[in-house]
Structure formats: structure tokens, C-alpha cells
A and B are shown apart, each in its own frame.
Chain A
Amino acid sequence: MSVNVSPTKSKLIETKRSLALAREGHTLLDKKRNVLIREMMRLIDSAREVQEKIDEVFSEAYESLQKASLSVGIEYVEEAGTAVEEESGLSIKLRSIMGVEIPEVDEISEEIEPSYGFVKTNANLDRAYKSFKRALSLISRLAEIETKVYRLAREIKKTQRRVNALENVLIPQYEETVKFIESYIEETERDDFFRMKRLKQKQS
């Protein structure tokens, strides 16, 4: 790497200051990365559980729906659906960890409550209702965990890139500049010193 700066005292001070700043930034970013990674590690177990369950829960739900529509007719399943009150118990809070907005979703309970008429329905429809309720509960967890992990992962990657840039490019560059200027100044000082000595010798 060639250093292309004017080797002056003021430049030296300036570079030293930048170097100190870069080092400080490096420790801060390193801390940030550690916090984010720790936060993500806490999620890993539930993430694994949800991603395993999702396929199973949904295929069960679709299967039971199919049975229900075979027994009472798809139109009737749809009709029963219109009687169900819209789910509005979803509650989401956004929390910020090191500037990353991550959501906290309250899980929707799997509990069932009768919300359509029983006159023309049968057990198959109830089963479909129950398994979709389970699916919805899983969806609320999936929404939270997937978004959290995704955002944390993105931020970690970004931070990692910055840490690397500081560590491997910026800081070494500054260090080299400091070294270059210091040695140049020393050299000129020796030069002067020697010249003075010679001058004295001539005078005497």
C-alpha cells in the first residue's frame, strides 16, 4: 500500500485522531454484533420448532378441511365461515435492539369457541375449525420469529461487514500512515541536527 499524504506534523495529529476514532468504532460495532448474535441465539430453539411444525400443522388443517367440505359441501363451509367473527385479538409491539426493530407478537390461543350454528354442521367441520385454529396460532408465532430472525440476520451481516472493513482496511491504513509520517519527521530532524553540527564545526 502506498501512502499518499503530505508528511507534516498536523497531518500526523489528524491521522492519529482518526485512528483512535476508528478503533473506538471498531470496539463499539464488535459489541453491537455480539449483542445481536446473542439475541438471535435465544431465538434459535423456537425457530427450529416452528419450522418443523409448520408443514405438519398445515397439511393436517388442509386435510381436515377437505373432509369437511366433502361431508357438508364447500359452499356450506364458506357460509359457516362468514358467521365467524373476524379475529382481531392480534397484538404486536415493536421493540428495538441496537436499532433493529423487532416485533413481539402475542400468541393467538388455540382455544376454540363455538361461533357458527350447529344445525347443519357436523364433527368434520368442527375438526377443520379446530385444526385451522391451531394453524393460526402457529402463524402468529411464525410471524414473530421469522421476522425477528430475518431482521437480526440482516443487521448482523451489515455490522460484520463494517467490523471487517475497519479491522482489515481502515485501521491498518491509518497505522501505516502514522508510521510513514513519523519516520519522515524523524528523518528530517536527524537531517537538521547533522547540518547544525557541520555548521558549528566550520565556524570553530
Chain B
Amino acid sequence: MKFFLISDNIDTQIGLRLVGVKGVVVHEREEILDAVKKARKMKDIGVILMTEKIADEIPEIVYELRTSKSLPLLTIIPDRHGTKRPKDFITRYVKEAIGVKLE
């Protein structure tokens, strides 16, 4: 299976193209929705990659992809300026679910 990248900047696209990940660069909400639709229609896509800005633009789609029982999976990656997500963006789910902070 393959990756598919939806990026808001050219750096991410070029960098990941260097290791064999195809993708598109989009900016407007409509374009993003279009790209997601296309990516989901494509066969053989196992993981959709999104930069953080794209993911912020379409929270409802992000939620849908996260909770859907089938593929593709969704992964959000940082862009050139680093990540804006908190340091504990995975372990915080654990904290929310169990209610205990794990150190």
C-alpha cells in the first residue's frame, strides 16, 4: 500500500517525494476537501498524510478519518516551522481516557 500527502507547502511535498511519497499541494478549503475525496477514492492508499495547517482547516474530516473502521489511516505531520501540537499529543489521549496522568 501507499502513502498520499496533502500538504500546504512545497517543502513537505518535495521532501517526501524524494522518498517516494506522492502528494498534492493545496490551500483553499474546497481544494483540500477535493483532495481528500480523491485520495479516499484511490485504491491502495493506506495512510493519508496531512500537514498540521491542512488538518486544522478540516477538523470534521479529520475526526471522520480517525474514527472510521476502514483504511486509510490519517497521520498529521509537522511542516517546516515545526509542530504546533503539544508535546504529549498521543499520551494525552491516554490521560483523558483513564483520568490518570502517567509519568
Residues of A within 8 A of B (CB): 37, 40, 44, 47-48, 50-52, 54-55, 58-59, 61-62, 65-66, 69, 74, 77-78, 80-82, 84-88, 90-92, 94, 101, 103, 105, 115, 128-129, 132-133, 135-136, 139-140, 142-147, 149-154, 156-157, 160
Contact A78 B14 (CB under 8 A): yes
Stretch at the interface among B27-35, B53-61, B91-99: B91-99
**Assuming the A-B contacts A92-B1, A103-B73, A146-B90, are A85 and B20 also in contact, with contact meaning beta carbons closer than 8 angstroms in the complex?**
yes
Asked, given contacts A51-B91, A101-B69, A139-B75, whether A81 binds B17 with beta carbons under 8 Å apart, the answer is yes
Chain A residues with CB below 8 A from B80, complex form: 62
A94 to B73, CA, bound (A): 11
Closest to B21 in A: A87
Asked whether B77 lies within 8 Å of A58 as measured between CB atoms, the reply is yes
Known: A146-B90, A150-B93. A88 touches B18 (CB 8 A): no
A144, chain B: closest CB distance, angstroms: 8
- Dominant secondary structure of chain B at its interface with chain A: mixed
Note all chain B residues with C-beta closer than 8 A to A151: 66-67
In the bound assembly, the distance between CA atoms of A78 and B16 in angstroms comes to 10
A139, B49: Cβ atoms under 8 Å? yes
Q: Which listed residue (A44, A58, A78, A133) contacts B83, Cβ 8 A?
A: A58
Contact call A58/B14, Cβ cutoff below 8 A: no
The answer to whether A149 and B71 touch (CB under 8 A), given A78-B14, A82-B17, A132-B19, is: no
Q: Quick check: B15 and A61 within 8 Å, CB to CB?
A: yes
5 contacts across the A-B interface (CB closer than 8 A): A62-B15, A77-B18, A90-B46, A136-B16, A143-B73
A142 to chain B, nearest CB (A): 5
Q: CA of A84 to CA of B18 in the docked complex: distance in angstroms?
A: 6
B1-40 Cβ-contact flags toward A at 8 Å (1 or 0): 1110000001100111111111000000000000000000
Contact B3 A44 (CB under 8 A): no
Residue from A37, A80, A132 with most neighbouring chain B CB atoms (10 Å): A132
Which residues in B have their C-beta under 8 angstroms from that of A115?
20
Docked-complex contact A92 and B71, CB < 8 angstroms: yes
What is the 8 Å Cβ interface bit string for chain B, positions 64-103, against chain A (1 contact, 0 not)?
0011011101110111101100011111011011100010
Q: Let me know if B19 and A47 touch, CB within 8 A.
A: no
Complex interface: chain A residues within 8 A of B46 (CB): 90-92, 105
B18 x A81 contact (CB < 8 A)? yes
In whole Å, how far is B25's beta carbon from the nearest beta carbon of chain A? Answer: 12
